[in-house]
Amino acid sequence: MQLDGYFINLDRSADRRRSLETQLASLGCDGRITRFPAIDGAAHGPFDNAAMNGIWACRQSHEEVIRISSDTTATVVLEDDVEISREFPSVVNEHVLGQFVGAYPQCDVLFLDCCPFYAQVPLLLAQAELRMRGRAMSKSGGAERHGFSGVSVLDAKGTYAYCTASYVVTPKGKQTLRGLLSSSTDATTPIDILFRDWIASGALSALLTIPFLATPKFESVSTMPYEELESPLLERREGQLINGIRRLLFAGDADLDMREIASLLPVVESSSEYRLGMQLYEACRTTY
């Protein structure tokens, strides 16, 4: 299985380009994952609204990467604000992905990160804890703390809510996605929402790695002018909460400011039954 890849980057986002190129070079991935010049909605968007132009351009960029990539390769797609785990090359390589495609021949997309549905977070955290056992050892630190024993591969259906920060498209997935994208007539739907809906309907077969292998920093600021939308897609606090969860699922230092995180956490009333249930869940989880 041959491997190639792209990171999507606007010409005006030079700092992000340098960051990705530095990370890829340090991991030995710079020869296979190269820059794709993102379509700029500010310059080429068809709408009167800057945010809609940004959403349109992001989708166009992802579509173009899928369209131009080779029919026979597994293609990595990264957005330019991700931090890449030092464990990334141990999974995202020709040998492992070749084995993956052989084991999961129906898979179209393998997500290396996502914003999950909230109800699935305990399961994902438990899987991350299982794979990164060094985190539970009080004396471990640095790379030892976040090293993992492989990844868990989970069904994205019912777990993937949105986000296209990092994923791999299989050769089969390119044919599937090209067909789905060409038949989609609504140019205003974001690419990740299309993915979510196609996964839910069964039109797109997708899996997810735990822990995450490339995910944005907690404080990462989108280049999309979402504030121009009449109704925000996501409230700022909700976005911060889910970003915190993603960082905890990342195969690397979460790099979270605990004072900032504490300010996001309200006192939540819960029943004694709920609290006991969560304790029982933890007891069950730790028996394996």
What are the chain's domains?
A: 3-285 (3.90.550)
The whole-angstrom separation of Cα 235 and Cα 19 is 27
pTM value?
0.92
Residue 228 in this model has a pLDDT that exceeds 70: no
Distance of CA 132 to CAs 122, 244, 249, Å? 15, 18, 10
Q: What six digits make up the tokens of 110?
A: 């393998």
How many other C-beta atoms lie within 10 A of the C-beta of residue 102?
A: 9
Residue 230 in this model has a pLDDT that exceeds 80: no
Higher pLDDT, 61 or 134: 61
How many other C-beta atoms lie within 10 A of the C-beta of residue 229?
A: 15
Position 281 confidence tier, pLDDT thresholds 50, 70, 90: confident
The whole-angstrom separation of Cα 84 and Cα 156 is 21
Give the pairing of strands 74-79 and 166-169: antiparallel
The whole-angstrom separation of Cα 247 and Cα 218 is 7
Q: What six digits make up the tokens of 1?
A: 């299985």
Residues 57 and 118: beta-carbon distance below 8 Å = no
Mind listing the pLDDT tens digit for each residue in 52-109?
888 999 999 999 999 999 999 999 999 999 999 999 999 999 999 999 999 999 999 9
> Three-state SS for 258?
helix
> Where does 140-235 have alpha helices with state H?
142-146, 171-183, 191-201
Mind listing the pLDDT tens digit for each residue in 206-216?
999 999 999 99
Residues 152 and 112: beta-carbon distance below 8 Å = no
Residues 163 and 196: beta-carbon distance below 8 Å = no
Residues 51 and 22: beta-carbon distance below 8 Å = no
The whole-angstrom separation of Cα 62 and Cα 66 is 6
* pLDDT value, residue 288: 58
Residue 223 in this model has a pLDDT that exceeds 80: no
